[in-house]
Amino acid sequence: MKIILILLFIFCNQIYANELRLETSVMDFTRNEIAIPGDSGNLFNTAKDNWKQQNGFNYRLYYSHKLDEKSQLRFLYAPLQTSFNGVFRNNTNFNGQNFNAGEATVDYQFNSYRVSYHKEFFNQNNLVMNYGFVGKIRDAEISVSQGNTTKTRKDLGFVPLLHFDSRYHFSEINSILLDVDGLVAPQGRAIDLGLFLERTIIKNHKIFAGYRFLEGGADNDKVKTFSFVNFYTIGLLINL
C-alpha cells in the first residue's frame, strides 16, 4: 500500500499536483474506546484510567491539482500509529482472546488514504468556500499484547465522506482556513476538522499553525470503537 501511494504521489507531482501541504502534529487521545466483538467483547478505553500513550508525533501529506478555476483534486496520505501501555482492571476478552487483569500493551493504527474532488461555490469579500466528495480507504489495526500472547484485529475498508472548506484572507499575507472531511450515518461516523492560521512568508510558500481533531467510530455486533484525537499542528504549504 505504501509503495503504491508513493508512486501515486510521484505521478501526481509530475502531472497533477500544483500544491503541496505538509502537516506535523503532536497528537493526544482523549477517547479511545474498544470492544471487539462489539456484542461480546469487553469494553476498555486506552485514553482513560491508567493507560499511557507512547507516541505523540503525527504527520500528514496533501497533494492538490487545480482542474480549472473552480475545481480541484486532492490526495491525502495520513498515517496514524501509536501504542498504549496500561493495566486491565478486569479479565478482558478481545477478539476472542481472554486477557487477564494486569499489565498489557495496545498497538493502534488508523491510516487514512483519501482522494477528493472540491468545487468552489462562493468567492466574495476575501472569503472562498468549497464543497466536495471524498473517497477514503481506512487501514486500521488494533493489537493487544500481554506476555507472550498477542491478538490482532485488522480492518481495511472504503468510506465515503463529504468535504467542506473555507478560507478567509484578512490581509495580503494572512488567512484563516477551515477544512472538514466527514459524514454521519447509521453505520458510524467520521469527522476530520482542522482550523488554521496561515501566513505567507515568501512567494508561493505559507506556514501555518492550528488545531485539528479526528472523531468517529462504529457500534455493531462485530466492533465497537470510538475515538477522539487532538492534533496540535504546524506546517508548510507550497504552491508548485
Q: Give the whole-angstrom CA distance, residue 211 versus residue 213.
A: 7
Q: Which residues contact 172 (CB under 8 A, 6 or more apart)?
A: 200
Element (H, E) at 9: helix 2-15
pTM of the model: 0.91
Strand 52-53 and strand 19-35: the pairing is unpaired
Look at residue 2 in the predicted model and tell me its pLDDT. 55
Query: What's the CA gap between 103 and 83, in Å, rounded?
Result: 14
Tens-binned pLDDT, residue by residue, of the chain (240 aa): 554 455 455 444 444 448 999 999 999 999 999 999 999 999 999 999 889 999 999 999 999 999 999 999 999 999 999 999 999 999 999 999 999 999 999 999 999 999 999 999 999 999 999 999 999 999 999 999 999 999 999 999 999 999 999 999 999 999 999 999 999 998 889 999 999 999 999 989 999 999 999 999 999 999 999 999 999 999 999 998
**Interatomic CA distance for residues 154 and 110, integer angstroms:** 10
Question: CB 29: neighbour CB atoms within 10 A?
Answer: 20
**Residue-range domain boundaries for the chain:** 2-239
The domain 2-239 is placed in CATH, from the list 2.60.40.420, 2.40.128.90, 2.60.450.10, 3.60.15.10, at 2.40.128.90
Tens-digit pLDDT profile for residues 136-155: 999 999 999 999 999 999 99
| Residue 26 identity (one-letter amino acid) | V
* 209-216 CB contacts, 8 Å cutoff, 24+ apart: 209/233, 209/234, 209/235, 210/177, 212/23, 212/25, 214/80, 215/31, 215/189, 215/190, 215/191, 216/182, 216/188, 216/189, 216/190, 216/191
pLDDT at res. 1: 56
Sign of CA dihedral 220, 225, 226, 230: negative
C-alpha 29/C-alpha 181 separation (Å) is 19
pLDDT of residue 111: 98
Following CA atoms 52, 217, 178, 53 in sequence, which dihedral angle do they give, to the nearest 10 degrees? 10
Closest CA to 64 of 192, 240, 226, 224: 240
3-state DSSP assignment of residue 7: helix
| Residue 136 host element (H or E) | strand 127-146
